[in-house]
């Protein structure tokens, strides 16, 4: 059953258009007007389905044949997930988008026929960025951690070991956190940046192990 065909309207119709179409068809299909109970039940079910799934569409500005909006989503979420909750004018839309591609860089427009939308997604860059087609993350560690080595958390439940002697620009690959190519998820590259540590006079009297403990990233 195609609810749009049953009501005689096109996808993307507003709530008011859905309601008016239902009233017109109800007059024709009601059993008291010569219709059948089966046809009227189908009409009612179609109306209820579209009434519920089209909530909030009238709040989205119309340009051309599609509603057009722009949203900002962190780059790492776009890479690691295809389902996103879009909050627009107090309405939440659960949108499934294709896997983010590196050649899209930081902006891409999707057509979502389910909601009659054209969504321009802007990838927000925090510590993550794209370099030579790879997903990269900049990780800052201090001089003491780079000197003796450390274990640094990069995501929830995942940490990487920083080898002793790490310098700015050192790269470490992390499996299965990058872009998806041919149904295979590539690696993500962690790029380390060393931050200077300002030691106090009292720090100078501490052994190296104590200094590392004091200034280790939380």
> Hey, how many other C-beta atoms are within 10 angstroms of the C-beta on 189?
18
d(CA 188, CA 181): 13
Work out whether strand 150-155 and strand 158-162 pair parallel, antiparallel, or are unpaired: antiparallel
Q: Looking at the chain, how many residues does it have?
A: 218
128-215: CATH superfamily: Urease metallochaperone UreE, N-terminal domain (2.60.260.20)
CATH topology of domain 3-55: Helix Hairpins (1.10.287)
Q: Beta partners for 159?
A: 153
Domain boundaries, the chain: 3-55, 59-124, 128-215
Tokens matching residue 57: 């569409």
- Please list the pLDDT of the chain residue by residue as tens digits (218 residues): 677 788 888 766 666 778 888 888 888 888 777 888 888 888 888 887 776 665 444 444 444 567 788 889 999 999 988 888 887 666 777 888 899 999 999 999 998 877 778 889 999 998 899 999 999 999 988 888 888 888 888 877 788 888 888 899 999 999 889 999 888 899 999 999 998 887 777 777 777 777 767 776 54
d(CA 8, CA 180): 41
Domain 3-55 and domain 128-215 have a common topology: no
> Which DSSP symbol is given to 126?
S
Is the pTM here over 0.95, yes or no? no
The domain 59-124 having CATH identifier 3.40.50: the answer here is: no
């Amino acid at each position: 059953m195609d609810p749009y065909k049953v009501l005689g309207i096109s996808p993307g119709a507003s709530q008011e258009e859905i309601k008016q179409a239902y009233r017109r068809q109800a007059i024709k299909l009601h059993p008291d007007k010569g219709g059948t109970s089966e046809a009227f039940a189908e009409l009612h079910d179609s109306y209820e389905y579209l009434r519920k799934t089209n909530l909030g569409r009238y709040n989205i500005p119309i340009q051309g044949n599609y509603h057009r909006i722009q949203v900002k989503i962190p780059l790492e979420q776009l890479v690691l997930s295809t389902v996103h909750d879009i909050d627009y004018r107090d309405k939440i839309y659960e949108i499934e988008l294709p896997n983010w591609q590196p050649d899209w860089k930081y902006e891409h427009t999707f057509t979502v026929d389910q909601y009659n939308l054209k969504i321009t997604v802007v990838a927000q860059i925090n510590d993550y960025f794209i370099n030579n087609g790879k997903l990269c993350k900049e990780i800052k560690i201090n001089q003491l951690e780079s000197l003796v080595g450390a274990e640094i958390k990069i995501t929830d439940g995942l940490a990487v070991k920083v080898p002793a002697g790490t310098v700015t620009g050192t790269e470490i690959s992390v499996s299965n956190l990058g872009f998806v190519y041919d149904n295979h998820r590539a690696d993500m590259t962690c790029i380390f940046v060393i931050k200077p540590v300002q030691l106090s006079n009292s720090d100078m009297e501490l052994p190296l192990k104590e200094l590392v403990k004091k200034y280790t990233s939380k």
